[in-house]
Structure 1
Amino acid sequence: MDLEILTPAVIGVGVVSISLAWVINTLIRVRHGYPLENSWGKAVYPKKSTENEERVKLLSQENAALRAELGSMKDRLANVERIVTDSGYHLTQEIETLRGTQKGAN
């Protein structure tokens, strides 16, 4: 009876141990830059596509252009905010000055 219970446990521990060893081996190979292997033992390298490299280059250029445009828009917005807030204050002050001179003239 004990052998029937023990056998699946031993098999389970063996399968888990082998799987864990495979995962650790793969992680070590990746960390140190060794190529991975397919099921036939042939080295598998990541595919490098010139199309993907061109796409990354174009997206990087577009990103740089958009960042430059965003920077100029921030500057313009800051100028508009400064004009709106400063001009409103100065305009009110000038109107009050004119009202004061008109009252003094009357």
Structure 2
Amino acid sequence: MNPFEMVIGIVLIVTIGSIVRAKYGAPYGRRGRGAGPDFAAPDSAETKALQTEIRALKERIQVLERIATDHNRAATLDEEIERLRDRSLP
């Protein structure tokens, strides 16, 4: 077997291995495409629930920032805090 045939053989073996790996979803190694944590689908129920919770928390933060920075409001701080307590997280 001459060197040219050996190179062709190696390329064929690697190509066939890559095809088999892609077909069966086997990982490519430590840093390959298949390695690492499993991520949830972007439209999963857990993701939607977390997005809803984040939105609610951002709204609460905005209210708290407004309370902390707005000194000229007629409402007192206690009334604002009570309003926040009445709101419930999803």
TM over 0.5: no
**Larger-Rg structure:** 1
Structure in which a larger fraction of residues adopt helix:
1
